[in-house]
Amino acid sequence: MSPIAFLLLFPLVIAILLLLIRSDRVRAPLVYVSATAIIIASVYTVCRYLNDGTTMFDFSWEPLGTLMFAVEVILCITVICLGYKYKKWAAPVLAVIQTAIGTWFELTQAGGLTADHNLYIDELSMIMVLIIGIIGSLITVYAVGYMKDFQAHDKSKDRRPWFFFVMYVFLSAMFGIVLSNNLMWMFFFWEITTFCSFFLIGYTRTDEAIHNAFLQLKLNIIGGIAFIVAIAVFVCDQHVVEMDKLLECGLSGIDVVLPVALLCLAGIVKAAQMPFQSWLLGAMVAPTPTSALLHSSTMVKAGVFLLLKLAPLLGKDIVGYAVMTVGALTFLLASMAAVSQSNAKRVLAYSTIANLGLIVACAGVGTYEAVWAGILLMIFHAITKSLMFLSVGTAEHHIGSRNIEDMDGLFERMPRLAAIMIIGIAGMFLIPFGMLISKWAALTTFVESENLVLIACLIFGSAVTSFYWTKWLGKLVGVVAHCENVEKTVHKDEWAVLDILTVLVIAVCFGFPLLSEYIVSPYLIHVFGNPPEAFLAIFGTEYVWILLAMLALLIILPIALLNKSKKPQSSIYMAGLNNGDNQSYTGSMGATVNVTLRNWYMESWFSNDRMDKIGVVMTVLVIVVTFALVLAGVTL
């Protein structure tokens, strides 16, 4: 069996086994072994095809198209039934519309239509294979212990077999998205991820979970409709159905603006960009492994993957300007909304939306430098965000809260976890970690594009980003006396995953020049040609100095935080007489006052409702005007 076939089929087989298995004793080893196998297969696949450039596969099986269509119809019927059960009508109506378009296409256009190459692998899909295979598999391992605790607190029927089944189907579908050259195949896997997200978000079956699951389904089916219409338009015009043919047509001057615009809309929806960001925020009601899976290695990454793939067709045209504007506005406004959040998972959610906005903006710019920055942002974000989500999940289970204001003394209560979270936060915004290097590259690109909106959004958005990460970091590094250590009950598999992700954060920071040289740059050279001299001057010769700075920070910072001095310490100065416990003091009227440290969240300025409303209005206007111009035949 080829490694490509293994990545597509093996997670599906494991999903079926996990659905049938009810015993923890059997489930846990199966997840450990299967996750290890997927990680090894992902690495092997990349090593196998790394030096081959773009490799195409002619795999075809005639009944497969019929099977995919049948599955889509079954899913549509499922949505109709669930919509009737829960009195949610928007998603079923949209599902019927999408299925009707797909049925028309299958019956009238797809007959006799064959793809020369249904599957492929290039350097960009290799990066995604590593993200899905490594990060996604580690999340499933983490979920073993986490969901055991989750079930212990949840008195409802144990549905963990269903949970793990959906997670592994998710992984299989994601591999399908990034390895499919046939757009109909990609669309099929695209929709599978939508329905997997629906089931995972609604896992607890509470009213809030059901509402948010249907919200996700409704919005992503809108993206699915855009996707299938794009395929129909492209096939009717060009009579081919492959992604590589779409790129060839666009680069050769053939008019593919409308299908590209529709595919970009589908990518924007899947990447949770404004005005469609609410589905990703609603996903926070799901168990933490779901949040980590959606935010780091699947779902949203499918959206930015598609946009980065289409980046050579964007640049300075009407669709490119729209994509970069939506991404830039999302980055700025979502970053501002994160400032007003004290719920750690909501901070991470808005941070995810913001960082994805930056990647989307890079795709919209569509130059060598911008796509380089976007791909590296995608890599750094996948690892650090999965680490942060899983860390918050562990903290919530052991301190009873996911609120940042309740993380006082976490360095005493859960010192190992606090150190891990500090490294994760540092990886998101501190110099010289990878995210900052990628943002530096993005800023350089935006300045060269002379787009003042992009430049302003990046500058102010980055400043706001530093603000909310610094607030959280300050909570973690604070030491509070007489706190009980509660991290001894953390499951070993949770620690294993968190430790591996921490090592990956550090390893990617060290190894990003290697990633750039051997994976990212070869892809960009194939797409755009040789890199510009200005790019090489900034990001070529400076690698050694960046690595040395990383080395100093990554060694000194953890040691400084973990090293506890044994020297006698004086009592902390307070606003009155310290009572000796460093937690309270006697005030001027003789009253005992407990010391509390609280951040400023500026809700009146940056409330999420205000930022969401502004963002929705502005991005809807951009999208509507763009499609009006595209349909009118206006080009730039």
Mean pLDDT of the chain: 86
Strand-pair category, 119-121 with 577-578: unpaired
pLDDT given at position 547: 57
Q: What is the DSSP string of 238-289?
A: HS--BHHHHHHHHHTT---HHHHHHHHHHHHHHTT-TTSTHHHHHGGGS-HH
| Residue 365 neighbours by CB distance under 10 Å | 29
If you ran DSSP here, which 8-state letter would residue 1 be given? -
What contacts 24+ positions apart, CB below 8 Å, involve 518-524? 518/50, 519/46, 519/50, 519/123, 519/126, 519/127, 520/123, 520/127, 520/372, 520/375, 520/376, 521/372, 522/53, 522/123, 523/122, 523/123, 523/124, 523/375, 524/368, 524/371, 524/372
The answer to whether the CB of 45 falls within 8 A of the CB of 122 is: no
Q: Which residue has the tokens 């239509």?
A: 113
pLDDT given at position 545: 59
Residue 158 DSSP SS3 = coil
pLDDT given at position 108: 84
pLDDT given at position 341: 86
If you ran DSSP here, which 8-state letter would residue 518 be given? I
pLDDT given at position 270: 94
The answer to whether the CB of 189 falls within 8 A of the CB of 314 is: no
pLDDT given at position 558: 57
What's the Rg (C-alpha) of the chain?
24
CA atoms within 13 A on the CB side of 380: 33
Q: Which residue has the tokens 């290039």?
A: 122
| Residue 281 neighbours by CB distance under 10 Å | 21
How far apart (Å, rounded) are the C-alpha atoms in residues 541 and 329?
Answer: 33
Which amino acid would we find at residue 33? V
Alpha carbon 147 to chain centroid, angstroms: 21
**Cβ-Cβ contacts under 8 Å for 464 (sequence gap 6 or more):** 332, 335, 336, 338, 339
pLDDT given at position 561: 56
Q: What is the DSSP string of 394-417?
A: HHHHHHS--BGGG-TTHHHHSHHH
pLDDT given at position 229: 96
pLDDT given at position 112: 72
If you ran DSSP here, which 8-state letter would residue 316 be given? S
Q: What residues in the chain have per-residue pLDDT under 50?
A: none
| Residue 484 neighbours by CB distance under 10 Å | 7
- The total number of residues shown for the chain amounts to 636
Q: Which residues pair with 584 in a beta bridge?
A: 594
Helix residue ranges per DSSP H, 529-634: 533-539, 543-562, 603-606, 608-631
pLDDT given at position 440: 76
How far apart (Å, rounded) are the C-alpha atoms in residues 634 and 376?
Answer: 33
